[in-house]
């Protein structure tokens, strides 16, 4: 039977915050929270797919009232168990369709999670849901990688991105559908485990069209949280769309 918490059940939630990669370092988290606090401009913020509160908690520490929508109850239990976690109001549900009470000056969706919506329709619905939560003049922010098709020579579908004694990770892309399956192989002694997660990769320009369909316009596209310009060499982007004032 499928886990009601999706891919982020108790086992993943328990080790989610042990990650030592760049994204989890205090400098990165603080920089991210500071940019989002500026955009919230003293109003209320809503995080789609809030997870264990990696960004929601430091944003709340900056005096912003933060709400979250999240599919996984296991991830939310971790969030609420953390110091300050009681101050984050959360709603269990799908970020493409679930409504949180009230309106917000900022809605944000980080860590490539727009790609967890595996159809174009669901991604479009997510933009419409963000716009429906925003006050006039409010901002919607997405942080997501640029699809890595330049790494794929003709005939190849696989992009390896991590290899160590205990873990191998690679993505398999289908350029006809923009589907991408993440493969994660972990090795523990003579046991190994192979997990897969389905994604839909999406282009910056396609996201701009989704924003337009939802009545929003691009106001910033940076190549990261230090707000450096987005260029043809950028591997990811932080994009900000605004609902008309």
Ligand X SMILES: C[S@@+](CC[C@H](N)C(=O)[O-])C[C@H]1O[C@@H](n2cnc3c(N)ncnc32)[C@H](O)[C@@H]1O
Q: Which is nearer to ligand X, 48 or 241 (CB)?
A: 48
Helix (H, G, I), strand (E, B) or coil at 51: coil
CB of residue 186 vs ligand X: minimum separation in angstroms? 17
Residue number with the shortest CB distance to ligand X?
51
**Side-chain half-sphere CA neighbours of 16 within 13 A:** 21
Q: Which is nearer to ligand X, 30 or 152 (CB)?
A: 30
CA distance 130 to 149: 28
In degrees and rounded to multiples of 5, residue 136 shows phi and psi of -55, 135
8 binds ligand X (CB under 6 A): yes
133 binds ligand X (CB under 6 A): no
Binders in 57-116 for ligand X, by CB under 6 A: 69-72, 75, 94-96, 110-111, 113, 116
Residue keyed to tokens 């929003």: 216
Contacts of 60 (CB under 8 A, 6+ apart): 66, 84, 87, 88
Binders in 213-242 for ligand X, by CB under 6 A: none
Query: Between 40 and 59, how does the x/- string for binding to ligand X read (CB under 6 A)?
Result: ---------xxx--xx----
CB of residue 7 vs ligand X: minimum separation in angstroms? 7
Do 200 and 118 contact (CB within 8 A), yes or no? yes
Helix (H, G, I), strand (E, B) or coil at 176: coil
Q: Which is nearer to ligand X, 96 or 144 (CB)?
A: 96
CB of residue 56 vs ligand X: minimum separation in angstroms? 8
Q: Which is nearer to ligand X, 64 or 110 (CB)?
A: 110
State how beta strands 66-70 and 179-188 pair: unpaired
Tokens coding 9: 């059940």
Do 51 and 8 contact (CB within 8 A), yes or no? yes
Q: Which is nearer to ligand X, 111 or 152 (CB)?
A: 111
How many residues bind ligand X (CB under 6 A)? The answer is 20
CB of residue 155 vs ligand X: minimum separation in angstroms? 31
Helix (H, G, I), strand (E, B) or coil at 88: coil
Q: For binding to ligand X (CB under 6 A), which residues are involved?
A: 6, 8, 49-51, 54-55, 69-72, 75, 94-96, 110-111, 113, 116-117
């Amino acid at each position: 039977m499928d886990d009601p918490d999706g891919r982020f059940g108790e086992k993943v939630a328990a080790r989610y915050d042990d990650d030592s990669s760049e994204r989890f370092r205090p400098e990165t988290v603080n920089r991210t929270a500071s940019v989002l606090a500026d955009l919230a401009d003293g109003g209320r913020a809503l995080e789609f797919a809030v997870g264990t509160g990696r960004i929601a908690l430091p944003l709340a520490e900056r005096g912003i009232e933060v709400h979250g929508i999240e599919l996984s109850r296991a991830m939310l239990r971790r969030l609420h168990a953390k110091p300050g976690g009681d101050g984050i109001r959360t709603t269990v549900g799908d970020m493409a369709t679930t409504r949180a009470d009230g309106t917000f000056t900022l809605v944000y969706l980080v860590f490539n999670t727009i790609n967890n919506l595996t159809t174009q329709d669901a991604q479009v619905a997510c933009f419409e849901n963000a716009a429906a939560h925003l006050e006039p003049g409010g901002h919607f922010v997405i942080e997501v990688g640029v699809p890595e098709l330049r790494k794929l020579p003709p005939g190849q579908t696989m992009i390896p991105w991590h290899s160590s004694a205990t873990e191998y990770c690679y993505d398999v892309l289908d350029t006809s559908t923009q589907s991408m399956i993440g493969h994660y192989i972990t090795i523990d002694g003579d046991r190994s485990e192979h997990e897969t997660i389905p994604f839909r990769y999406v282009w910056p320009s396609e996201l701009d069209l989704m924003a337009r369909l939802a009545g929003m316009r691009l106001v910033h596209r940076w190549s990261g949280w230090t707000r450096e310009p987005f260029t043809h060499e950028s591997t990811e982007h932080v994009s900000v769309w605004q609902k008309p004032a």
